[in-house]
Structure formats: C-alpha cells, structure tokens
C-alpha cells in the first residue's frame, strides 16, 4: 500500500516528471555525478549525519535507479518507501529510513475517532512487517482539524495511538508523526506546530512515539528552528529538509541556514536520519541532491 499523497504532492511529481530527465538520460544518470577531486562523493562524507532522500521527490527515477544514486552519493537509505519496494532497497544494501503504507492519507488521521478502527487495523498489520524487515520508523499523521479544537484532536490521537504502542514496543518500532505546515501546503492540518506534537508525545510517554520535525514546514508555521530543535530533541526521531520559500533546493536561493541547523541537530546527540525532501528545479536534478547532502554534511 503506497502512501496516499495529497493533491499538491501529486501535482509536484507530475511537474517534476514533465520537466526533467528523459528515460535514456536517466539510464546514464551516473554521468551527472561530479567528482572534481577524483574522489567518489560518498568517500568525502564526514560520517556525522545519516543521509537519506524522500522517494516521491525523485519519482522520475525508477526505484533501482534511485537506489544506485543513493549508493553513489553515500545515503543510508530512502524515505517513504513501503513494503512493495523493500526487497529492492535490500538488494542495494539500503534501509527504508521512514516506512509508510499504514496511513490512510494526510488528512484522515489519528485525531478523528472515526478513523481509529481502520488505522489500528493498518498499523497492527504493518508494525510486524517493519520489524521483520529490520527497519525502525513508521510514519503517521494527525489529520486535518475539520473544526476540531487542538485539545480534542490531541486527546483523540492519544486514545488511538495508545492502542498500537504496545505492539510497537514489542516489535521495537517507532511510530513517527510528521509535523506539516498548515499555512501553505496542508491547510487545516492539526500537527502544525512543534508544541502540539511535543504535548502529544508527553501524554503518550512512550519511546515508541516520536516526531518527524520537517524543517521546511516548521520554518513556515513557527520559525525559531534551532532553539526549537535544541529544546525538544528528545521527542524528535527524524528530520526532513527543503528550501523556504518554494520547497526547492536548500542552497543559497532560500532563507534557511542548513549548515547551522545541522550542527545544532548534531549537538543534541542525534543518531537518526536527515532526509532531503525538496522538489528539485535546477536543470541538473541529480547534482541538486548531491549538493544538498554536501550542505548538510557537517
């Protein structure tokens, strides 16, 4: 079961496919990998950050092509990959660094009790699969408010998630709720501020529930990224990147200082993964990913 993408993500992927590599060019994508010093890129990485990339952002490549690229760059794995493609990742020695496939979609989440029966069924089936594959993180979503106040939505999430956390504990799997902005990309999404997510984590009081701190999304809805990371690191299992504004490359064309943010993440003792989730718009989209990893490799 693949992750149910919202309209914006579908549109982004269509635009990405339309304006990028042809099939023949993709077949020789390794020719795009600059090695000015003669040293393979992955051998230049410092090893302090575990790097990954989100599958949907490079959907113009086949899963095999993306795995090849990941190995060339030196990535630990690929984010947002479900069970159907796990055998391919294993073939290339890569991890599904953030598993998906149990969620209904981005808008129908744990904050609505009407969704609980389906979600409990989905996650109860998926958690053992994640564990059997040797993976750790399984994504989840709060869902949209639909007129619901924040306290009610949080309590509904607590009630629902508590029913799957014993299974997550048994299988050593972490259920990870993604924080998304509700200002631009995901109007009405409930988990749109770090404090809301942290308060939910405190209520659940489980090492098997954490947050996915998406740097792009939280810059839009709350800013104050570095202080927020420092103060709430114990509740964060995973990070996503993208440039603000626009969700494109994380280079000098946007406002976030990613090297400083990565240093702050490292200073918390973080041992998880940072996944690139930007939509590349530069002509050389392969080089965009390589450059983003280099920027974050502090």
State the average pLDDT over residues 211-239. 98
Cβ(129)–Cβ(208) below 8 Å = no
Render pLDDT for 164-221 as a digit per residue (tens, 0 to 9): 999 999 999 999 999 999 999 999 999 999 999 999 999 999 999 999 999 999 999 9
DSSP run (H or E) holding 127: helix 116-133
**Overall domain count for the chain:** 1
The answer to whether residue 200 is domain-embedded is yes
Cβ(198)–Cβ(213) below 8 Å = no
The answer to whether residue 243 is domain-embedded is no
**Per-residue pLDDT band at 161 (split at 50, 70, 90):** very high
Host domain of residue 160 = 7-11+52-222
pLDDT of the residue at 37: 52
Reference 82, options 124, 30, 138, 120; nearest CA is 138
CATH of the domain at 70: 3.20.20.150
Return the number of other C-beta atoms located less than 10 Å from residue 159's C-beta: 13
The answer to whether residue 178 is domain-embedded is yes
The answer to whether residue 257 is domain-embedded is no
pLDDT score of 11 more than 90: no
Global pTM reads: 0.88
**Per-residue pLDDT band at 113 (split at 50, 70, 90):** very high
Question: CA-CA distance, 53 to 286, in Å (whole number)?
Answer: 12
Average pLDDT across the chain, whole number: 90
The answer to whether residue 282 is domain-embedded is no
The answer to whether residue 195 is domain-embedded is yes
* Stretch among 3-17, 123-137, 238-252 having the lowest mean pLDDT: 3-17
The answer to whether residue 96 is domain-embedded is yes
The answer to whether residue 151 is domain-embedded is yes
Render pLDDT for 37-88 as a digit per residue (tens, 0 to 9): 567 898 899 999 999 999 999 999 999 999 999 999 999 999 999 999 999 9
């Amino acid at each position: 079961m693949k992750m149910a993408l919202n309209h914006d993500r579908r549109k982004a992927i269509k635009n990405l496919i339309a304006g990028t590599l042809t099939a023949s060019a993709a077949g020789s994508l390794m020719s795009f990998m600059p090695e000015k010093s003669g040293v393979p890129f992955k051998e230049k990485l410092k090893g302090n950050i575990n790097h990954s990339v989100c599958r949907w952002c490079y959907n113009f490549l086949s899963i095999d092509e993306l795995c090849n690229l990941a190995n060339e760059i030196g990535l630990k794995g690929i984010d947002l990959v479900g069970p159907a493609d796990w055998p391919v990742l294993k073939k290339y020695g890569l991890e599904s660094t953030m598993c998906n496939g149990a969620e209904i979609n981005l808008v129908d989440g744990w904050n609505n009790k009407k969704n609980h029966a389906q979600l409990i069924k989905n996650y109860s089936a998926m958690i053992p699969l994640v564990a059997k594959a040797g993976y750790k993180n399984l994504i989840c979503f709060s869902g949209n408010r639909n007129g619901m106040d924040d306290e009610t939505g949080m309590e509904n999430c607590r009630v629902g998630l508590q029913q799957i956390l014993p299974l997550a504990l048994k299988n050593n799997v972490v259920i990870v709720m993604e924080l998304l902005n509700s200002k631009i990309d995901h109007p009405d999404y409930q988990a749109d501020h770090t404090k809301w997510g942290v308060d939910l984590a405190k209520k659940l009081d489980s090492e098997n529930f954490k947050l996915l701190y998406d740097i792009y999304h939280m810059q839009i809805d709350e800013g104050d990224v570095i202080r927020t990371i420092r103060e709430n690191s114990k509740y964060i299992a995973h990070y996503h990147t993208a440039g603000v504004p626009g969700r494109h490359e994380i280079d000098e064309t946007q406002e976030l200082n990613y090297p400083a943010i990565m240093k702050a993440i490292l200073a918390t003792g973080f041992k998880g993964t940072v996944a690139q989730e930007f939509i590349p718009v530069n002509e050389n989209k392969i080089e965009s990913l390589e450059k983003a990893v280099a920027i974050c490799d502090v």
